[in-house]
Amino acid sequence: MIDQISPIYVLGHVNPDIDSIASAMGYAWLLREKDEKNAIAARPGPITPQTAWILQQLHLEPPLFLADASPRFNRIARPLPPVTPNRSLREAWSIAASNSIGVPVIDADNRPLGMVTGASVFKFISRQIDSLIDLNNVSVAKLLSVPCCEAMDPDVPRFKNTMRICEGHRRVMREERNDFLVTHDDGTYWGVCRSPDVINPPKMKIILVDHNEISQSIRAMDEAELVEVLDHHRLGTQSTRIPVPFYIDIVGSTSTLVSERIFLFAMTPPPEIAALLLAGVISDTLILNSPTTTSRDRIVVDNLMSIVKSSGVLPFKNYLDFGKELLTAGSGMVVASVDTIIQTDLKIYETAGFKFGLAQVEVGNLNELIARVGEISTGLDTLCQSKGLSFALLMVTDIVRSVSRLLIEGEKDKLNDLPYAKLPDGTYDAPGLVSRKKQLLPAILALFE
Ligand SMILES: [Mn+2]
């Protein structure tokens, strides 16, 4: 039985590429299948055209979109059955007593009117005592037979189910009440929550795949509980309260690491998952051509390809044909907007007290760049200002010829010592440069050591 209560989100980096999506979906599958964990693949941003293409080929839905890792009121709301206002106080009281929590009262349109709580009933009885002259003639039975709305507290604060719990924190701290109403966005009743849960909400459990740097992770990651890391990038992770599984290895893709685990447990992924992981390895290693490629990536590609081929889930006979189709599905610099070109695969790094951005785009031919240099440079400049970056760099990579062209804006002087020749159009020629992670980033970091 899969534990449905506390989901574990498996999450790649912002601006997720195929490897981030594939490794999240593949690892979530493994955790559900092998460990019966309620693992849910998620993504902190929109998918790329390349990812959209492969998901469509495989008839798979993109993973769940998560805007941030801050828990919402729906995490702590209990969907208690409500009562209507004309039900007797006796009835409401017995429900409250059996649940040890107030009873929500709703109108005919499902909107909460208030709650019957211990305190509200106490106030009601006090009012009766104050207003009645001859107490001897009033029985408890009579008091309890009034419509429950007469004894409810109509001023119980309401919180929307999609609201961040942290935003309701102060309000709840100021309150003497213990129970609160949670509504849908349209104001209809959803459930009831209690103050201890608001003050100390359960954290979202998150497994990071394909990244471990907080600046590349989902927003409000500091509010979440990091439960595991599976990655192939440099270290830059947050600290944890307790030890967590942490696995980083120098292979071409996180999809490689996920596939190796699946095979290690002698399991066979469904052909769709195998094909997706194959796409992850192939796109991250540029069809096994990037200098990040290892023999382990090649073995994984062979194993995945044989599953894909025998299942017929994709119409390709070998990984090369598949790879070419996959990589061209993503390129389109000629028609893409400047924003798409810069933002689709942008990573922000922090080092030595300053921030910078490295974006990468793959093209079939560097000539696609010629007509766009001016507007892309302006776009990079805007990016520096809006994100407070020292400099922003776009790496335009010709995947077929293994060469890149660099566009740099911001404090260019900082990068004077990079070993790339400046061309007349202001871009830099970088033959042999294809990997941001393994070639460009270390070269940049070395300048500031
Ligand atoms: Mn990757």
Residue numbers of the domain that contains 255: 8-70+204-330
Reported as a single tens digit per residue, the pLDDT across 250-291 is 999 999 999 999 999 999 999 999 999 999 999 999 899 888
pTM: 0.73
- Which CATH number goes with the domain that contains 170? 3.10.580.10
Residue 198, strand partner residues = none
Domain endpoint, select from 171, 198, 225 = 198
pLDDT at 3 over 70: no
Distance CA 23, CA 289 (A): 20
pLDDT attached to residue 5: 66
Cα(293) to centroid(ligand 1), Å? 11
> Is 391 inside any structural domain?
yes
Cα(354) to centroid(ligand 1), Å? 24
Cα(112) to centroid(ligand 1), Å? 48
Domain endpoint, select from 198, 227, 246 = 198
> Is 2 inside any structural domain?
no
Distance CA 449, CA 203 (A): 37
On whether the CB atoms of residues 108 and 86 are closer than 8 A, the answer is no
String of DSSP letters for 210-270: S---GGGS-BTGGGSEEEEEEESS---PPP-SS---EEE--SS-HHHHHHHHHHHTT----
386 and 299, same structural domain? Answer: no
Cα(344) to centroid(ligand 1), Å? 14
Q: What is the mean pLDDT of the chain?
A: 91
Within 10 A of 400 (CB to CB), how many other CB atoms are there? 17
Residues in the chain: 449
DSSP state of 437: I
181 and 243, same structural domain? Answer: no
The mean pLDDT value for 51-55 works out to: 92
Distance CA 318, CA 322 (A): 7
325 and 216, same structural domain? Answer: yes
Classified as helix, coil or strand, 197 is helix
Distance CA 339, CA 376 (A): 8
- Which CATH number goes with the domain that contains 277? 3.90.1640.10
On whether the CB atoms of residues 13 and 63 are closer than 8 A, the answer is no
Cα(15) to centroid(ligand 1), Å? 12
Cα(253) to centroid(ligand 1), Å? 4
Domain endpoint, select from 164, 198, 232 = 198
Question: 299 or 131, which is more confident?
Answer: 299
pLDDT band at 114 (very low <50, low <70, confident <90, very high): very high
For Cα atoms 319, 320, 321, give the angle at the middle one, nearest 5 degrees.
95
Question: What is the domain count for the chain?
Answer: 3
253 and 182, same structural domain? Answer: no
